[in-house]
Amino acid sequence: MSINNYLQVGDKAPTFSAISVYQQEFKEVNLSDYLGKYVILLFYPLDFTFVCPTELIAFSDSYNQFQDLNTEILGISVDSEYCHLAWMQLDRDSGGVGDLSYPLVSDLNKQISLSYSILNHEGKALRGLFIIDQKGLIQHCTVNNLDVGRNVHETLRLLKAIQYVQNNPDEVCPANWQPGDPTIKSDLNTSKEYFKSI
């Protein structure tokens, strides 16, 4: 962890073991089991709220796109596993989330949220989104306030950009980069080729 004791991009992601709900069953989740894959940690405030189901459903509906990028998703809130189960058993038309394509992790003791520095003064997790790479390093983090949901498409774009530069260490991705767009060679002379083209 960085010297100010707050997580930063490039830090090792804090590991954890916790109970989750997946496919209507309780299952222990260990972050270390995901080494070799990318992981999206999707913190959210509470079950049975308003913005949260829209986010969780949107990420679930796009789950195959994350799978194609060797990426798993873990939803995390300070609710119990029993609360998660009840919410998943409630259909979407009634404010539930139904069967999600990824586990919902119980952080009832709030230790995971604390370790990722996203627990607010009310004891809820803010909308923290962390992209962790195959080596367990944090490559991206954003934190939204409670009232504003996140964008699945932007998360996918960021994930693709992170994977691209990790596979092409002599290149960097400029603003608004999409797969197939030109990149910048991270060299003082050759980078000019990109700037001349814009």
Q: Which domains does the chain have, with CATH numbers?
A: 11-150 (3.40.30.10)
Catalytic sites, residue numbers: 52
- Lowest-confidence segment of 68-82, 106-120, 135-149, 173-187 by average pLDDT: 173-187
Q: Model confidence at 194, in pLDDT bands (50, 70, 90)?
A: confident
Q: Does the pLDDT of residue 64 top 50, yes or no?
A: yes
State how beta strands 104-106 and 71-77 pair. Answer: parallel
Average pLDDT, the chain: 93
d(CA 28, CA 137): 22
What is the structure's pLDDT at 55? 97
Residue 39: closest CA among 12, 8, 64, 74:
74
What is the structure's pLDDT at 5? 65
What is the structure's pLDDT at 50? 94
What is the structure's pLDDT at 115? 97
What is the structure's pLDDT at 3? 43
Q: Does the pLDDT of residue 1 top 50, yes or no?
A: no
Residue 17: closest CA among 59, 76, 64:
76
Residue 146: closest CA among 111, 105, 118:
118
CB 52 within 8 A of CB 124: no
What is the structure's pLDDT at 47? 97
